[in-house]
Structure 1
Amino acid sequence: MNNNASEPFVSRNEAVPIVSITGPEDDALTPESGRRTPGKRDAFKQALPTGKLKEKLDSLSGQPEMPESPNTVSDRLFTMLLQQVLPSHDIPNSSPTKDRQSRKHVDRPGFSLPVMSNNFRRFNARIGVAFVFQNRMIRLFSWKVPTQTLSFLTIYTFLCLEPTLLVVLPLALCLFFIMVPAFLTRHPPPPSNHPTDLYPLAGPALAPAPNIKPAPELSKDFFRNMRDLQNSMEDFSRLHDSLVTFLAPPTNFSNEALSSVLFLLLSATACVLFITSHLLPWRAIFLISGWSATCAGHPAVQSLMHATHTDTLIQDQEATARSWLLRLSNSDITLSSAPETREVEIFELQYRAMHTEDAEYEPFLFSPSPYAPLSPARIAGNRPRGTRFFEDVQAPKGWRWGDKKWTLDLLSKEWVEERCVTGVEVEIEGERWVTDILYDEEDLEEGGSSSPKHGKSKGKGKEKLAKRAWEEGNNLGGKGEWRRRRWVRIVERIAIENSGVS
């Protein structure tokens, strides 16, 4: 079977540019005869032939050459350098938002220069079909062949008037653009300058079946795909930058008043369309829009638009709409200038080593947790964490202090009950200390119930205290080694001033 019928899909609308690499070591041309004089490259080739050079590079690489991914020594050295510079694992993300490109969420191979080079060559050899489709769409909407554009508009009109024909469109495209050309390739029609009897339509196939194969590397088709890929990347970059320039300033709340007006208008429009969308003539809307967009690409319409400076008119209308939104935002939108405020807390912990009544509590540190008797850190035997002085307590990140000093929380009973702190004695008055209760070991062994060590208080008092998680301070002794009290302070969020206001 003849394999010449298998051709790659490439764009052949323009000539392939000549690619040349020159340098100081390239061979020079003599101006007299135009012949090339021997240079360093010829001497190198004579000293070391191509076959021996290839064997030398293969021995340096240490791996056999792959059929579609030839790895050079420079690729390997550069890959090893990148592996030393770049981290082998993902850097932990401190922000609350998830990184969807992280390998924790997507199990994909890591970066490798040989893999990157191999994948690019394979992708470039197979991307020709996309560029063929792109060029055909450009020819269609630029009215290069008016009959084709009018045929497209006719089909588009039928689809707008009868949307149920959309289910037929994929099947029709498969029949007319895939199967019919494939059949005509295997059963070619007779030439027009010969009798039909010499080329009967019946009988076996006269040509092999068409097949799509990748463009060979270093071929004209391969370089055509590289040219089209280069131009497509530039088109995408320009389109991306234009959309960001047009959509980002009014929608990213850099100007909060303008973005708020736009948010209200879009919300109102969405609510209205949610109710009245079924009343709109969508067939006529799509029909008129499609014809208008297609006719705008006609050369005569383009010449008329350039003559009437339509681009300038569109820019003027855009500036007018933006100024109207700015006036509306300045007149009707009032933003709250008061920063958000919150209340933060810190616990002052004091400690005493002796459990006698005359032992004094000494300042220990200021901790974000109360270090309660049944807290996980206390049970695990860990020491509390914090700072020794009030001045070292910093506001949370992104906040600043809203008042000048800390305030003692006088409602010690409320925060104890809110946190379900047990085994403590609460001062309702005075300095509002919440002190650990020192239980008698003998009482803990009797019946499994616990009671504080108060000397004379036993019996009914013991049963009463066993039912309560905490008790009010009565200065009868039996206090543990830790006590704490709560301090509060107001913080306000730091506002970030945006200089790029549109």
Structure 2
Amino acid sequence: MDEFTVDAFVNRDDPIPVISFDTNDDLSDDAELATPERKRDKLLQHGKNLKDSFRNVQGKAPETGSSMQDRLLEKLLQQVVPVEDLSSSRPETPSQNYISRPSFSLPTMSANFRRFNARIGVVFVFQSKVIRLLSWHTTSHTLSFLAVYTFVCLDPYLLTVLPLVVLLLALLVPSFIARHPAAPPTITSQTSATFQYSATGPPLAPAPTVKPVKELSRDFFRNMRDLQNSMEDFSRIHDKIISVITPRTNFSNEPLSSTLFLFTFLSALILFIASHLLPWRIIFLFVGWTITSLGHPTIQRQMLTTHKTHVVPHEKQALTLLDSWIASDIVLDSAPETREVEIFELQKLSSAGEWESWLFSSSPYDPLSEVRIKGERAKGTRFFEDVKAPAGWEWSEKKWALDLWSREWVEERIITGVEVETEGERWVYDIRYEYDDMDQDFFPELENTPTPTKGKKKVLPSWEEGSEAETEGRGRRGEWRRRRWVRMVKRKWVARATTTSIKP
């Protein structure tokens, strides 16, 4: 097995540290206490099993290099988790014609992971250099970084030059030096040497290239080590952010979330008005120097001592003062929101000339409604007791009240072809219009409609007023009538949860 891979990016320094928010945290959620010898034996066993698995698939295509267990597990996952082909359900766009999106496959997943792990070393090298830079591992490097950062903050236009300088100093110059290496120094004495570099002449070495690390090499497992630690870092940071932000912003504790909303709104309003007056260059310069200085070991030790001696003893007192201020200034005991809901009682005229209760509907089922025009039946419930409050609301009144202002809701909905009853039970009747012979020629469906009078069509208003006594015996009412009932509802109160559960 090769120890190193030539011309490959890999982090050969110390392992990427795992972020810990608690001194009792381990690398996994269900880790058990073990001695260093047991941990080392376990890691060696995992590495051996991993090498055996890679040997089974090394040098073979994903289709032919999969073992019987992989094929059985893949078939099982396809049955449990069906994979949908998006190209079959959606029209293809020109960009999708050149993109292949294979379905989930264990052999493909394994092959892609090995290729990814062989090439991810450049990310970990950069991460390691950033950690060494911010932790003041080499003081001159950190001070040089702060000097460059200071120039960029004081003159932001240098940001356009920075990528070009990085390209020159990090890629082009090292590549040229590798292509034209310097001659060995000339020894002039036992204590001194002269060094002269000449860029003239033909190249003396091959051009440097970047190659992925070889599988099963030490660099390959270094990448796996850093990838493992990075995944653990992401999981811990994600869980920590969720545990800190979510309970304070999801209004499970309404006074605290309301306070946060108030301060956030005021801060956004102030910045919206006065952000152009702030010295952003000095602010960014100060923040950058502060963050970098906090990484110095001496300052970190001093901060830990200050936190233990001054912050922790007064932390509970500060939280108590904040809670008392929230309890006294944030008022949330206002009355719940109320709304008025409506229901229409529909009745139909029977063949015996009596009105029969039909149902209670959310629609008045007027003659020109979309449901009536399509010839569909009204939708609703047969009994008053079956009418439920809307989702998230509850009744604030015990009984339904009859709407005595039937004329108003008819005018609001611009309902035509009805007769409004202004007294009594406030029914709104359909009007049966009278047509002459010429109208029946154009409208055959009106042929069987009773026409008490002949002649021209009688001009009727959009709706008429009348009472039962005034309109009785006219025979102009249709087969449907309706009236409106109203009732008040209020927002349903949901008790505050005592614990906050975080879904994965």
Task: Give the TM-score normalised by structure 2.
Answer: 0.76
Partner of 1:154, secondary structure, is helix
AA aligned opposite 1:78: L
In 1, distance between residues paired with 2:451 and 2:409? 25
Partner of 1:211, secondary structure, is coil
Find the partner of 2:174 among 177, 181, 188.
181
In 2, distance between residues paired with 1:240 and 1:198? 53
Distance 1:263 1:210, change over 3 A: same
**Percent of aligned pairs with the same residue?**
54
Alignment check: 8 A CA contact 2:259 2:330 kept? yes
The alpha-carbon deviation at position 71 of structure 1 amounts to 3.7
The alpha-carbon deviation at position 441 of structure 1 amounts to 5.3
Distance 1:470 1:264, change over 3 A: same
Find the partner of 2:301 among 293, 303, 310.
303
Number of the residue aligned with 1:433: 427
In 2, distance between residues paired with 1:85 and 1:263? 43
- Answering whether residue 263 of structure 2 is matched by residue 265 of structure 1, we say yes
Alignment check: 8 A CA contact 1:255 1:501 kept? no
Distance 1:295 1:440, change over 3 A: same
Find the partner of 1:445 among 435, 440, 444.
440
Alignment check: 8 A CA contact 1:434 1:483 kept? yes
Alignment check: 8 A CA contact 1:345 1:487 kept? yes
- Answering whether residue 79 of structure 2 is matched by residue 84 of structure 1, we say yes
Number of the residue aligned with 1:288: 286
Q: Counterparts of 1:5-84 in structure 2 under 5 Å?
A: 7-14=7-14, 19-20=44-45, 66=61, 70-84=65-79
- Answering whether residue 325 of structure 2 is matched by residue 328 of structure 1, we say yes
In 1, distance between residues paired with 2:195 and 2:309? 64
Partner of 2:381, secondary structure, is coil
Distance 1:295 1:249, change over 3 A: same
Number of the residue aligned with 2:120: 127
Partner of 1:216, secondary structure, is coil
The alpha-carbon deviation at position 383 of structure 1 amounts to 1.7
Partner of 2:45, secondary structure, is coil
Alignment check: 8 A CA contact 2:436 2:455 kept? no
AA aligned opposite 1:335: L
In 2, distance between residues paired with 1:393 and 1:348? 11
Number of the residue aligned with 1:337: 334
Alignment check: 8 A CA contact 2:434 2:452 kept? no
Number of the residue aligned with 1:486: 484
Distance 1:169 1:312, change over 3 A: farther
Number of the residue aligned with 1:155: 148
Number of the residue aligned with 1:101: none
Distance 1:197 1:326, change over 3 A: closer
Alignment check: 8 A CA contact 2:418 2:429 kept? yes
AA aligned opposite 1:9: F
In 1, distance between residues paired with 2:60 and 2:367? 69
The alpha-carbon deviation at position 454 of structure 1 amounts to 7.4
Which sections of structure 2, spanning at least 5 residues, go unmatched? Answer: 17-39, 86-99, 189-193
In 1, distance between residues paired with 2:450 and 2:333? 56
The alpha-carbon deviation at position 70 of structure 1 amounts to 4.2
In 2, distance between residues paired with 1:338 and 1:112? 56
AA aligned opposite 1:157: T
Partner of 2:378, secondary structure, is coil
In 2, distance between residues paired with 1:321 and 1:69? 65
Task: Give the TM-score normalised by structure 1.
Answer: 0.76
Alignment check: 8 A CA contact 1:453 1:478 kept? no
In 1, distance between residues paired with 2:196 and 2:270? 69
Alignment check: 8 A CA contact 1:258 1:325 kept? no
Equivalent residues, number: 440
Distance 1:70 1:421, change over 3 A: farther
Number of the residue aligned with 2:375: 381
In 2, distance between residues paired with 1:197 and 1:154? 29
Find the partner of 2:162 among 139, 148, 169.
169
Q: Counterparts of 1:222-233 in structure 2 under 5 Å?
A: 222-233=220-231
Alignment check: 8 A CA contact 2:338 2:488 kept? yes
Which sections of structure 1, spanning at least 5 residues, go unmatched? Answer: 26-40, 42-50, 58-63, 91-106
AA aligned opposite 1:431: E
In 2, distance between residues paired with 1:254 and 1:453? 65
CA RMSD of aligned residues (A): 3.8
Alignment check: 8 A CA contact 2:63 2:107 kept? no
Find the partner of 1:136 among 111, 129, 138.
129
Alignment check: 8 A CA contact 1:349 1:366 kept? yes
In 1, distance between residues paired with 2:260 and 2:14? 45
Deviations 1:199-233 (A, max 9, x none): 96422222222222333333322221111111112
Number of the residue aligned with 2:355: 361
In 1, distance between residues paired with 2:464 and 2:102? 62
Alignment check: 8 A CA contact 1:342 1:490 kept? yes
AA aligned opposite 2:344: F
In 2, distance between residues paired with 1:471 and 1:200? 107
Alignment check: 8 A CA contact 2:348 2:357 kept? yes
The alpha-carbon deviation at position 334 of structure 1 amounts to 1.4
Partner of 1:289, secondary structure, is helix
AA aligned opposite 2:440: E
Deviations 1:88-145 (A, max 9, x none): 569xxxxxxxxxxxxxxxx976644444334333322222111111100111111111
The alpha-carbon deviation at position 237 of structure 1 amounts to 1.9
Number of the residue aligned with 1:498: 496
Alignment check: 8 A CA contact 1:436 1:480 kept? yes
- Answering whether residue 388 of structure 2 is matched by residue 394 of structure 1, we say yes
Q: Tell which has more relative contact order, 1 or 2 (C-alpha 8 A, sep 6+).
A: 2
In 2, distance between residues paired with 1:15 and 1:290? 26
In 2, distance between residues paired with 1:353 and 1:65? 82
AA aligned opposite 1:151: S
The alpha-carbon deviation at position 501 of structure 1 amounts to 8.2
The alpha-carbon deviation at position 165 of structure 1 amounts to 1.6
Deviations 1:264-287 (A, max 9, x none): 222223333333334433333333
AA aligned opposite 2:330: I
Partner of 1:464, secondary structure, is coil
In 2, distance between residues paired with 1:406 and 1:68? 70
